[in-house]
Structure 1
Amino acid sequence: MKYVALLRGINVGKGHRIDMKRLVGVFVSLGYSNPSTYINSGNVLFESDKKPREIREEIEFSLKKEFGFVIPTLVKTEQEMQEIAKAIPSGWQNDSKQRSDVAYLFEEVDNEKIIEELPVKKEYIDVRYVKGAVIWNLDRENYNKSHLNKIISHKSYQSMTLRNVNTARFLADCK
């Protein structure tokens, strides 16, 4: 089965820097087939016959051993990634006028009620839930008004990992 591992919080800012070749090496050492990374933000495509929960446990254990710190990892099937990407309206882009992102959700917060809890001003941002993720779009000129930056301090933030819609679409289309 084809999977995507979404590593949370790596290669952002100055902390938790990870070399992608070493990262692929971890996946090879675990016996996963055809591992490859997409951009430098912790997206690993690979194949395995194992179940997602088992894969997640193996990856998190091996990454801590290899890099010396905990890296929360979300494992999604190819089909789950495609379903999430299909839910992104075609007009949503990440460009100079719009900001569109996908917040992939860890199991403990994967519930449509999360939309109600997010500290954003809904009149400035279109926020939607799809199983496994929250997607949003806003005009860049409304970024500050939307309070999107307040998500960082929200209790659920540690249980999500963000990618822009361009990355989400790419990861869903990989064959």
Structure 2
Amino acid sequence: MADQRYVALLRGINVGGKNPVPMAELRELFGELGHDDVRTHIQSGNVLFSTGTARDSLEDDIEAALEERYGTRLVVVVRSLRQLRSVVRSAPDGFGDRPDEFHSDAVFLKSPLTAAKAMKVVQTREGVDEAWPGTGVIYFQRLSAARTKSRMSKIVGTPEYALMTIRSWSTTTKLLELLEADA
């Protein structure tokens, strides 16, 4: 199998001093797992890499290695270049186009969680929040001026949240740009 380019999205590291993971160590760990061309983007757990490993085992393999190394179970969502390109291209019309007015996020879903199931726990407040289901993602946008009234934080206490990781739209599009440049 030819190497493919992927991004691993780790949830819950380097946030508010919790689960500190140096990016150099993270790159080293991915190399030890046999992945190539490993690079990270910002401190919140975005790892770009190439591998010939089958896609269906990547998330579990990376999660197990992280737990062994750091003693904490971390959620990992992996998307191929093709999948991330589809997430960006399939966004609702105008999504992320007005960053001064709206905070726009991609809520990435780990299987077996589907967008249909995730949408059942995503609450919106009229005039503040909007959410749209996608393939393996929920697009969530909230009015910046009223973000303290947003209901996005309501998903955190749900069982479904254990299978989600959130990236800002600007980070999501930057990750795609980096993957495409590397391909």
What TM-score does the superposition give when structure 1 sets the normalisation length? 0.91
Query: Which residue does 1:45 correspond to in 2?
Result: 48
Counterpart-to-counterpart distance in 2, 1:72 and 1:120: 25
Confirm or deny that 1:156 pairs with 2:167.
no
Confirm or deny that 1:10 pairs with 2:18.
no
Percent identity of equivalent pairs: 25
CA contact 1:93–1:165 (8 Å) conserved in 2: no
Query: Which residue does 1:87 correspond to in 2?
Result: 90
Matches within 5 A, 1:90-105: 90=94, 92-93=96-97, 95-105=99-109
Query: Which residue does 1:128 correspond to in 2?
Result: 132
What amino acid is the match of 1:152? V
| Structure 1 residue 84: Cα displacement | 0.6
Question: What secondary structure, in the 3-state scheme, does the structure 1 residue paired with 2:124 have?
Answer: coil
Provide Cα deviations, 1:121-150, integer angstroms capped at 9, x if missing partner: 254322111101001112112323332221
Counterpart-to-counterpart distance in 1, 2:102 and 2:71: 37
CA contact 1:98–1:138 (8 Å) conserved in 2: yes
Query: Which residue does 1:108 correspond to in 2?
Result: 112
Confirm or deny that 1:35 pairs with 2:38.
yes
Counterpart-to-counterpart distance in 1, 2:169 and 2:114: 19
Shifted more, 92-101 versus 6-15: the winner is 92-101
Provide Cα deviations, 1:27-81, integer angstroms capped at 9, x if missing partner: 1111111010000000000011112221222211211222222222111111111
Match of 2:72 among 65, 69, 72: 69
CA contact 2:108–2:164 (8 Å) conserved in 1: yes
| Structure 1 residue 107: Cα displacement | 0.7
Counterpart-to-counterpart distance in 1, 2:126 and 2:110: 23
Residue segments in structure 1 that go unaligned for 5+ positions in a row = none
Counterpart-to-counterpart distance in 1, 2:98 and 2:6: 24
Residue segments in structure 2 that go unaligned for 5+ positions in a row = none
